[in-house]
Amino acid sequence: MQKVASLPLPSADALDASAALSTCIGDAIDAAGGWIGFDRYMALALYAPRLGYYSGGAAKFGRDVRDGSDFITAPELTPFFARTLARQFAPLMGMDLPRVMEFGAGTGRLAADLLLALDDEGALPDTYQIVELSGELRQRQQETLAARAPHLADRVQWLDELPVRFEGVIVGNEVLDAMPVRLFARHGGRWHERGVAHRIVGSAGPHAFTFEDRTLPDAAVPEAVRAMPGDHDVVTETHAEAEGFARAVGAMLARGAAFFIDYGFPAAEYYHPQRAGGTLMCHYRHHSHTDPFLYPGLQDITAHVNFSGIAHAAVDAGLAVAGFASQARFLMNAGITELLMELDPSDAGAFLPQANAVQKLLSEAEMGELFKVIAFTHDLDAALPLAGFARGDRSHAL
Ligand SMILES: C[S@@+](CC[C@H](N)C(=O)[O-])C[C@H]1O[C@@H](n2cnc3c(N)ncnc32)[C@H](O)[C@@H]1O
């Protein structure tokens, strides 16, 4: 386990939990004969019961290192993110689709603020269903809803499994990037799968995890990876789990629309020969780095989304792509600026923090361009305009 000098050390309890998780991952590696794919490592590091990053007690979401958090997401930054989504969702609620299903609801901020904003728009859903893998986050979501929207909290249900059929609006912010990825490395002109091995330092640990590459027959290398031009050294990822998830959403969505917001690119940009280092990224106390073996279970591990792969999987499952745009474009088309202007700019104490947060969502140098919104529909009037994609739709690039 490496340490990053200058970053706050985890508490003794957190280090104990990380050591327990490392033992559990080490056991999985031994049981598999000394090597596991990176996707398995990532799944355990993030979601192992009670010990994984999302299933355990890490603070995760927050503003800065002082609150022990690791990163901040759009719904945590400002309620104007949820309010703008509500503007997009309200007409759909009115089409006899008064249900929302949110995947990976984090602290519950988006759920609470969306319900409040939909209520303001006169478009309150009958039910707001949450699908969340982490019991710890489910608890936090209940607390947030009770504190921020107590009069609406009884509309919220947590699902343990997906229904066979759903009619309504589906939303997921930064969920696809949290799904395990496989890693592939080309060196010496040959493709390998990059997995994880370990050795135990000292008699009883700690575990030292290392990358270990295994050569693959060409036929076992996914097509998108094999097609990367050139023979220079490259590391990249594939997203079978996120694509399987998109297929499951496609199979379930009988009528309605699904919106996913995340950082990433279409395949041509994702597998561009110049993106030779891949997109694997870790977040610990608002510090981004590329070592997935730092404090297992105490830091986030993510990869950017290949939106073409998500689109193809969803279309295979029967959905239509309704639009694909940068987050900035989508939010501006859907009216974020008009909403912000409803605040009184002369009330600097109320206006400025929100204006700054909205600027962060929109700025090209921050979240505006790297983050994208993709939406799918099924069995909706083909003429239904989704305002968020009115200008700057890049579906053609998928
Ligand atoms: C980066 S957090 C984003 C949380 C929240 N949406 C936000 O924007 O603040 C990723 C979330 O996705 C959840 N998650 C990952 N895979 C999931 C899946 N297959 N189904 C439901 N939730 C999932 C995690 O448990 C976590 O709540």
**DSSP state letters, 296-361:** TTSSEEE--EEHHHHHHHHHHTT-EEEEEEEHHHHHHHTTHHHHHHTS-TT-HHHHHHHHHHHHHH
pLDDT, averaged across the chain: 94
Q: State yes or no: pLDDT of 372 exceeds 60.
A: yes
Q: What is the mean pLDDT of residues 362-390?
A: 91
Q: How far is the CA of 129 from the centre of ligand 1 (A)?
A: 14
| Single-letter amino acid, residue 56 | G
Task: Give the pLDDT mean for 190-205.
Answer: 82
Q: What is the pLDDT of residue 74?
A: 97
Scan for tokens 């309200």, then name that residue.
Answer: 90
Residue 38 bridge partners (DSSP): none
Other beta carbons within 10 Å of 202: 6
Please tell me the predicted confidence (pLDDT) of residue 383: 60
Ligand 1 centroid, distance to 173 Cα (angstroms): 8
**pLDDT one-digit tens code per residue, 123-166:** 999 999 999 989 899 999 999 999 999 999 999 999 999 999 99
- Pocket lined around ligand 1, Cβ cut-off 6 Å: 54, 61, 73, 75-76, 103-106, 110, 131-134, 137, 173-175, 178-179, 245
Domain parsing of the chain, residue ranges: 74-179+240-397
Strand 281-284's sheet: what is its strand order? Answer: 287-289, 281-284, 300-302
Whole-number pLDDT of residue 20: 95
Give the amino acid at 196: V
Q: What is the torsion angle, in degrees rounded to the nearest 10, for the CA atoms of residue 258, residue 268, residue 366 and residue 331?
A: -30
Is residue 3's pLDDT more than 60? no
Nearest CA to ligand 1 atom 1: 174
Which amino acid, 52? G
Residue nearest (by alpha carbon) to ligand 1 atom 13: 104
Query: Separation of 174 CA from ligand 1 center, angstroms?
Result: 7
pLDDT value of residue 280 = 98
The alpha carbon of 270 and the centre of ligand 1 are apart by a number of angstroms equal to 22
Instruction: Report whether pLDDT(2) > 50.
Output: no
Q: What's the CA gap between 298 and 21, in Å, rounded?
A: 10
In 3D space, the residue among 180, 216, 193 whose CA is nearest the CA of residue 302 turns out to be 180
Burial (CB count within 10 angstroms: exposed 0-12, middle 13-18, buried 19+), residue 18: buried
Which pair of structure tokens corresponds to residue 339? Answer: 């909403």
DSSP 67: G
Q: For residue 1, name the pLDDT band (cuts at 50, 70, 90).
A: very low
The per-residue pLDDT for 205 is 54
- The pTM assigned to this predicted structure is 0.96
Q: Which atom of ligand 1 is nearest to the CA of 175?
A: 12
Give the percent of the chain with pLDDT over 90: 87
Which run of H or E residues covers position 30?
helix 12-31
Q: Tell me, which fold does domain 74-179+240-397 have in CATH?
A: Rossmann fold (3.40.50)
Q: For ligand 1, what atom is nearest to the CA of residue 109?
A: 9
Ranges 172-186, 247-261, 308-322, 368-382: which has the least confidence = 368-382
* pLDDT value for 362: 98
pLDDT at 4 over 80: no
Q: How far apart are CA 224 and CA 233, in angstroms?
A: 16
Spatial contact of 102 and 111, defined as CB atoms under 8 Å apart:
yes
| pLDDT level of residue 6 (50, 70, 90 thresholds) | confident
* Per-position DSSP letters for 248-279, written without gaps between them: HHHHHEEEEEEEEEEEEE-HHHHT-TT-TT--
Q: How far is the CA of 201 from the centre of ligand 1 (A)?
A: 33
- The residue-averaged pLDDT of 232-254 equals 97
Looking at residues 110-122, what average pLDDT do you find? Answer: 97
Residue 124: closest CA among 149, 102, 94, 84: 94
Q: What is the pLDDT of residue 138?
A: 95
Give yes or no for a contact between 199 and 171, defined as CB atoms under 8 angstroms apart.
Answer: no
Q: What is the pLDDT of residue 65?
A: 82
β-pairing verdict for 182-187 and 190-200: antiparallel
Confidence of residue 234 (pLDDT cuts 50, 70, 90): very high
